[in-house]
Structure 1
Amino acid sequence: MVISLPKHSLYLRILSFLAALVAISSCSADRNLVYFSNLKNSDEFKVPVTSVVSPKIQPDDLLSITVSSLNPESNVLFNNGIIPSASNNLPATPTRTDNGYLVDANNNINFPVLGLIKLGGLTKEEATAKLTDAIRVHVKNPIVNIRFLNFKITVIGEVTRPASFTIPTERINILEALGLAGDMTAYGKRENVLIIREKDGLRTTTRVNLNDKNILSSPYFYLQQNDIVYVEPDKAKALQVSSRTYYLPIVLTAISVLSILFTAFK
């Protein structure tokens, strides 16, 4: 026996199913896309700049180190590791062209004349002072300059251009990092940004809220070397790529066609 439903009942069921699918595909709570949204237009919000931390030299850091003095021979020796002959016509400025000094697992670099010298755990200023004192034994009034060649941060997740970025100034805050990555997409959760940090052999994670003005005084406002910033997608983005809604456009199209045919035959 074949049981047939009334035409109007079948039509209502199709419409109800269609409405349910549309509701599922569009269900997402309103989200706050404004940075520092609790900072009112009339507010004059002042925060002391106290969260800047000088980066410390770590294993696998790549350092550019140049030595200048009034002695051309010493400049070549310390910058290139070459002992010049008396007949060489040497410039008075450093001529180093290699890729820098790699800090080993024991926090040492192998520097010309000095040999192994431990710089790991020191700030750039502290390392400069230590090298200057060590070189002063061999050269009068040396000037030492140190730079990080691989000071980088990484921004991934719901941003326009996820990538790793080398920072020449060795100082960057989280807003500048997001700017380098083209800012968050509309699906990025501004209230729940994850920062992954490695320091002193430990890997730590913390979450910051960029809707809140108090991030400006957070110790995580300024990023440190090798920090990873992960912008988590919201539920609307997850729903877009879900297998439950992958075929939703096809299903909706099919239902629309069936509805038109049903109406025509009715």
Structure 2
Amino acid sequence: MRKTFFFVFVISILSISMFSCSSLKNYKYFEDIPDTTKSTNIAEAIYKEPVIQSDDILYIAIQTVDPLAGTTINSVNNQTINSTTSIVSSNAITGNQAAIYGYLVNKKGIVTIPVLGDIMLAGLNTAQAKDLVTKRAENFYKNPTVIVRYANFRITVLGEVQKPGTFTVPNEKVSLLDALGYAGDLTIYGRRDNILLLRRKDDGTTLAVRLNINNSSVLKSSYFYLQQNDEIYIEPAKTKITGSDASQARNITIVTSALTVLIVLITRIK
């Protein structure tokens, strides 16, 4: 009798442990980092500034001693002038359908700026573009201060996240974790160990990379920082139905109930 009870007790403990451990293994980020109060140093990924591409929208502004001198150029950032110089988008991060205006980089990589004319900016980062626009502006303005930044740095997050969609972000240094945060984080069904990153290349091909945020090595991956128009897909786990907390609790209850009935039957038989 005692052996029987001991056997059933061991099975119960193993069943509960199996469900619990599975939950932690599937859902915990950076599980290789020790659970300790001591700090852990992790090498950081090298950030490479994205380069301007055709169809990007740029915020370009000029400031001078005379506040009205750059009005013609700066007004494009606030209202639509024509289809060749500006475009409307939406701010998906805040959920507001606020219009975003700016200078459109055409298919040839050229931006048409009032007063300054056509400037080739494709292939440059924003710092290089700023220098180039400044040199052109010095021909028309005295000691101009130029601002160049992305107005539509977009990333797309799809799959098992709380809020899938395309997000227009206010800066160009965006990490994988930032993107998941914009999308409301992964659901409990999303695979943390097999995140798919799709990146369009200049030659027309698409680069596909798999990332694992269960391990801290992703923090130093060359793909940790995202580029303009990157797409992230979160694959659902094969055990999506049984992987939820509610399903685990139900399974534990069923196993426990079955074992209880078994114990009662064994007791009565003995």
Is 1:67 matched up with 2:53? no
C-alpha distance 120-210 of structure 1, shift in aligned 2 (>3 A): same
SS in 2 for 1:191: coil
Shift of 1:238: 8.0
Amino acid at match of 1:150: N
Equivalent residue for 1:34? 28
TM-score normalised according to structure 1 size: 0.69
Shift of 1:80: 4.7
Shift of 1:78: 3.5
Shift of 1:237: 3.0
Task: Provide, for residues 81-108 of structure 1, a one-character-per-residue CA deviation record: whole Å limited to 9, x for no partner.
Answer: 8xxxxxxxxxxxxx85332110011110
| Aligned mates of 1:127, 1:53 — CA distance in 2 | 15
CA contact (8 A) 1:68 1:142 kept: yes
| Aligned mates of 1:77, 1:183 — CA distance in 2 | 42
Amino acid at match of 2:128: E
C-alpha distance 80-184 of structure 1, shift in aligned 2 (>3 A): closer
Is 1:231 matched up with 2:234? yes
C-alpha distance 189-139 of structure 1, shift in aligned 2 (>3 A): same
Amino acid at match of 1:110: T
Matches within 5 A, 1:155-170: 155-170=157-172
Equivalent residue for 2:79? 97
Equivalent residue for 1:198? 200
More displaced 10-residue stretch of structure 1: 123-132 or 231-240: 231-240
TM-score normalised according to structure 2 size: 0.68
C-alpha distance 130-233 of structure 1, shift in aligned 2 (>3 A): same
Is 1:51 matched up with 2:33? no
CA RMSD of aligned residues (A): 2.4
Matches within 5 A, 1:222-261: 222-237=225-240
Amino acid at match of 2:146: V
| Aligned mates of 1:70, 1:48 — CA distance in 2 | 44
SS in 1 for 2:122: coil
SS in 1 for 2:186: coil
CA contact (8 A) 1:154 1:229 kept: yes
Equivalent residue for 1:255? none
Q: State percent identity of aligned pairs.
A: 39
CA contact (8 A) 2:59 2:150 kept: yes
Equivalent residue for 1:172? 174
Structure 2 residue runs of 5 or longer lacking an equivalent are 1-20, 81-100, 244-270
Larger Rg: 1
| Aligned mates of 1:46, 1:72 — CA distance in 2 | 48
Task: Provide, for residues 6-60 of structure 1, a one-character-per-residue CA deviation record: whole Å limited to 9, x for no partner.
Answer: xxxxxxxxxxxxxxxxxxxxxxx94521111111124643234342221211110
Matches within 5 A, 1:112-191: 112-191=114-193
| Aligned mates of 1:58, 1:190 — CA distance in 2 | 31
Amino acid at match of 1:157: G
Structure 1 residue runs of 5 or longer lacking an equivalent are 1-28, 82-94, 241-266
More displaced 10-residue stretch of structure 1: 137-146 or 229-238: 229-238
Equivalent residue for 1:256? none
More displaced 10-residue stretch of structure 1: 127-136 or 104-113: 104-113
Amino acid at match of 2:125: T
CA contact (8 A) 1:159 1:182 kept: yes
| Aligned mates of 1:227, 1:97 — CA distance in 2 | 27
| Aligned mates of 1:114, 1:226 — CA distance in 2 | 28
| Aligned mates of 1:184, 1:174 — CA distance in 2 | 12
CA contact (8 A) 1:51 1:220 kept: no
| Aligned mates of 2:114, 2:106 — CA distance in 1 | 16
